[in-house]
Amino acid sequence: MLVEIVVHGDILCPWCFLQKRSLEKAMERYQALHPEVEFDVTWKPFLLYPTLRRSEKRELYEKIMSPEKLRLFTSRLQTAGSRHGVFFSVIGTTGPSQLAHRLLSLTLKTRGTSTQSAVLEALFRGHFEHGADIADEAWLMHIGRTEAKLEDTEMKAALLGPAAQEQLQEDVRSASVGGVEAVPFV
């Protein structure tokens, strides 16, 4: 039996990273009891900050949260992350997530859901644990090559082409019309 799951999320959202890990653990536990069940998880885009400009993560967090809220936020993330083997860091640059979503869309279309999950994991780990910039085209292409065996020409078209931008806008609009207002949304 196949169970299809659609998750809306944003690579900028640390809670989406934790949701991914939590969902994977839940599916593993369920499959241990019910080996006849298979899961197919598709990740769809949501843009938390569609107009975000590149900045240092710490600077961004300091702009949108008071020092006390930032301290609590960081503490909650560290506690929740440790339960899932995630070690959040506020080092590095952050920026708009549109290019990363386009890479995920290309991966889904050409390589399927399991490879999309591997690419998403690499994006989350790189951004949240190692300070990688999710708006850095070169880093995204590196992830596409190593995790999905994508060719540079197809990635360039997906990251920078107008058709990919239009598809992303349509996917985000469709999620909104479907009632997605916050993420993670399963």
CA separation, residue 160 to residues 138, 142, 152, 180 (Å)? 12, 15, 12, 26
Residue 40 lies in a domain: yes
In the numeric block, the tokens 């920026």 are attached to 95
Asked if residue 169 is part of any domain, the answer here is no
Average pLDDT along the chain, 186 residues, taken 10 residues at a time? 97 96 98 98 95 91 91 94 94 95 97 98 98 96 98 94 92 92 88
Q: Which domain holds residue 129?
A: 2-163
Residue 91 belongs to domain with CATH number: 3.40.30.10
Query: For the CA atoms of 19, 20, 21, 27, what is the dihedral angle to 10 degrees?
Result: 100
Question: Cβ distance 123 to 134 under 8 Å?
Answer: yes
Judge whether 171 lies within some domain.
Answer: no
Tokens representing 90 are 């506020």
| Chain-centroid distance, C-alpha 165 | 17
Tell whether 10 is covered by a domain: yes
Note the pTM of the prediction, 2 decimals: 0.93
Per-residue confidence (pLDDT) for residue 26, from 0 to 100: 97
- Of 4, 5, 3, 19, which Cα lies nearest the Cα of 183? 19
User: DSSP letters along 52-88, please?
Assistant: PPPEEHHHHHHHHS-HHHHHHHHHHHHHHHHHTT---
Q: Which helix (H) or strand (E) holds 33?
A: helix 14-33
Number of domains, the chain: 1
Radius of gyration of the chain (CA): 16
**Collapsing DSSP states into helix, strand and coil, what is residue 9?**
strand
Q: Is 155 inside any structural domain?
A: yes
Helix (H) or strand (E) holding 14: helix 14-33
Residue 172 within any structural domain of the chain: no
What's residue 90's pLDDT? 87
What was the pLDDT predicted at 60? 87
Confirm whether 122 is domain-assigned: yes
Residue 182: the pLDDT is 81
pLDDT value, residue 149 = 98
Peptide bond connecting 45 to the previous residue in cis, omega within 30 degrees of 0: no
**Helices and strands (DSSP H and E) totals, the chain:** 9, 4
The answer to whether residue 175 is domain-embedded is no
